[in-house]
Amino acid sequence: MGAGRSGSATDGDNWGGWGQRVYTPGEIRTFRDQARYWTGETQRLRDQLRNDGVNPADLDEVLRAFRQLDDERVYKDARELERLQTQVAEGLKRFEFSLRRKVEDSQGDQPALTATDEVPRGYRDLVEEYHRSLSRATK
């Protein structure tokens, strides 16, 4: 062990053979506050999706994990905390992917620009002048 390390289970890192970090009451309070905030944000997103006619079921798992992060007991087991954090992150990734696919499917094969979209005349004139100047420079 490094100099000055007591190896106690409460010193905040993986010393002492327990292999688990022990969080201070202040850290736990901060984590729980953040979990409550993100639970609220996720719930608002879920409600908005439901109002827009999108099935928000993909967010239910994420919400359950966020709600578990509000339980102080979770912070006594670093492995359980890591599992819940992973569950939230993976759930949000799945939700984002699913939502992106729904948006892409609803747009079909529409190109971003259509053949009828015109380039503004002033811009076209500048491009043509640029090409003329390049052609003169190479002669």
Cβ neighbours for 47, distance < 8 A, ≥ 6 positions apart: 56
Span 23-47, average pLDDT: 91
pLDDT digits (tens, 9 = 90+) for 101-119: 887 887 765 555 555 555 5
Looking up tokens 């190479």 gives 138
Asked if pLDDT for residue 45 goes beyond 60, the answer is: yes
Asked if pLDDT for residue 120 goes beyond 80, the answer is: no
- What span, in angstroms and rounded, lies between the C-alpha atoms of 93 and 81? 18
pLDDT, mean over the chain: 76
DSSP 8-state assignment for residue 69: T
Q: What are phi and psi of 30, to 5 degrees?
A: -65, -45
pLDDT of residue 132: 74
User: Among candidates 13, 88, 6, 102, which has minimal Cα distance to 52?
Assistant: 102
pTM: 0.58
pLDDT of residue 111: 55
